[in-house]
Structure 1
Amino acid sequence: MNQKLKDVVLVTLGSFIMAVGFNTMFLENKIASGGMGGLAISLHALFGWDPADFVLYSNIPLLILCLLFLGKGTFIKTVYGSWIYPIFIKLTASLPTLTHNTLLAAIFGGIILGVGLGFVFLGNSSTGGTGIIVQLINKYTPFSLGVIMGVIDGIVVGIGFVAFDPDTVMYSILSLLTITYIVNMMMTGADSSRNVMIISKKHQAIKDYITNVADRGVTELPVIGGFTGNEQRMLMTTVSRPEVQHLENEVLNVDETAFIIVMPATQVRGRGFSLQKSHQPLDDDILLPM
């Protein structure tokens, strides 16, 4: 599928999922979990403003600022998501509220919106709104995106204190944390791999096991002990999470004194992971395929 078409499909699907979560979980339960959608819920409670109209019309001046200060490329990536999301909010407004338990709505609504927002991000776009404000502030100030996003969403959630009771606002914060967790999980991968580093006097036997039995690539690095000053060999390999325990057991069977470090590897690309494993050596390969 053409990449641009794939991006449009992901943004459309993500925006629809977000709109469903917004109307079936958040609106009636008054969960204002950040962003223009959260602000729309607070203003709906205070003044009766239609949430879809508010999200749509508030994006118009923000999109103009995006075009003027962030450039045409960012504007093009943002304009579709910022238009289709409020349209879907309007089209799904008749859907029933799935639960009136605020805690369940905060958690499961956060999951639904997090999944939808994750699809939008995977489509290299956004739904506009406060995201544009975050990018503008980031461009002209030294503050990081994470800090700015936290402050902006904090202000939106804080406005909820004017419209709702403290319990409802705390549910909104819980929902915001859930959305953030789900988006991060989608962007980095729920089943992340593990980077394993092994220092052992029996490194050759361990290397033979990794390459011939575990069928994983391995890098051998010279290292020097900080206390003894002796040169040793460190093996570095990347395996899937389910393989870690078995690899550890096999390494300890070879050398029970082996020093093993296991670290998360949230994004792994290459043969054996994102590409089909090939056993044919390629010219100028950094690591020969195993």
Structure 2
Amino acid sequence: MNFQKAVAVIVGSFLVGIGINGFLVPHHLIDGGVIGIALILHYFFSFQTGLSMLVLSIPIFLYAWYYERPFFYSSVHGLLLTSLFMDWLNPLKKVFSISILTSSLIGGVIIGMGIGLMLRYETSSGGTDMLAKIISKSTSMDIALAIIVIDTLIISAAAFTLGIEIFLFSCVTIVIIGLVTSLMKVRE
């Protein structure tokens, strides 16, 4: 791994950890994909978000091992660091006291920057980033659109337990994440 990619993985993972813990968790907002499932497990069962993300990503990483090995090698560092930062930065959930709308917007921008930075250097935090990369590579679908579709499916499945307000603000967050991710990729 070259120096720029290593910095992108560290900074991107750190940004995702800040966005999740500082802005989504205080309002029980959901990101999509593997992180979203890990957040649901955290909200309902008090599981560690990062550890849950790590365990849930195993099937996707096994698939990548066989079909996208270079991306597997690039992303395993992102998965490990993002999981670590998500659990390490958990105390941030008590730091910011802002509205749910502001949290969904700021959290979406920060997470999107982290994911976009990693994707710009052909790495990711694993999970649905990796799945979206695989879908994007095998179809003509933009990676940001693939992320939005996957994320929307995840939060739609969880909508009945979270309530309509949380669901709607989570949708705002996911759209912002997708847009910022796309902007970060365009700036290559």
TM-score by length of 2: 0.87
User: 2: CA distance between counterparts of 1:36 and 1:82?
Assistant: 11
Q: CA deviation at 1:122?
A: 2.4
Residue number in structure 1 paired with 2:161: 163
User: 2: CA distance between counterparts of 1:161 and 1:43?
Assistant: 14
Tell me the SS of whatever aligns to 2:148.
helix
- How many residues end up aligned between the 2 structures? 186
Instruction: Report percent identity of matched pairs.
Output: 22
Residue number in structure 2 paired with 1:23: 21
User: 2: CA distance between counterparts of 1:188 and 1:136?
Assistant: 18
Q: Is the CA contact (8 Å cut-off) linking 1:35 and 1:129 kept in structure 2?
A: yes
Matched, 1:76 2:84: no
Q: Is the CA contact (8 Å cut-off) linking 2:148 and 2:178 kept in structure 1?
A: no
Letter in 1 for 2:131: I
Residues 43-66 of structure 1 deviation map (CA, whole Å, 9 limit, x = unaligned): 222333221110111122321211
RMSD: 2.2
Q: 2:125 aligns with which of 119, 124, 127?
A: 127
Letter in 1 for 2:40: S
Q: Is the CA contact (8 Å cut-off) linking 1:23 and 1:97 kept in structure 2?
A: no
User: 2: CA distance between counterparts of 1:133 and 1:111?
Assistant: 21
Between structures 1 and 2, the one with greater helix share: 2
Q: CA deviation at 1:143?
A: 6.7
Residues 141-190 of structure 1 deviation map (CA, whole Å, 9 limit, x = unaligned): x573555433311111212313311111100111111112222222324x
TM-score by length of 1: 0.58
User: 1: CA distance between counterparts of 2:181 and 2:132?
Assistant: 17
Residues 217-267 of structure 1 deviation map (CA, whole Å, 9 limit, x = unaligned): xxxxxxxxxxxxxxxxxxxxxxxxxxxxxxxxxxxxxxxxxxxxxxxxxx8
Between structures 1 and 2, the one with greater strand share: 1
Residue number in structure 2 paired with 1:85: 82
Q: Is the CA contact (8 Å cut-off) linking 1:39 and 1:159 kept in structure 2?
A: no
Residue number in structure 1 paired with 2:46: 48
Residue number in structure 2 paired with 1:108: 106
Residue number in structure 1 paired with 2:55: 57
Which runs of no fewer than 5 residues in structure 1 stay unpaired?
Answer: 190-266, 268-290
Higher relative contact order (CA 8 A, sep 6+): 2
User: 2: CA distance between counterparts of 1:6 and 1:66?
Assistant: 23
Which runs of no fewer than 5 residues in structure 2 stay unpaired?
Answer: none
User: 1: CA distance between counterparts of 2:173 and 2:90?
Assistant: 20
Q: Is the CA contact (8 Å cut-off) linking 2:105 and 2:173 kept in structure 1?
A: yes
Letter in 2 for 1:79: V
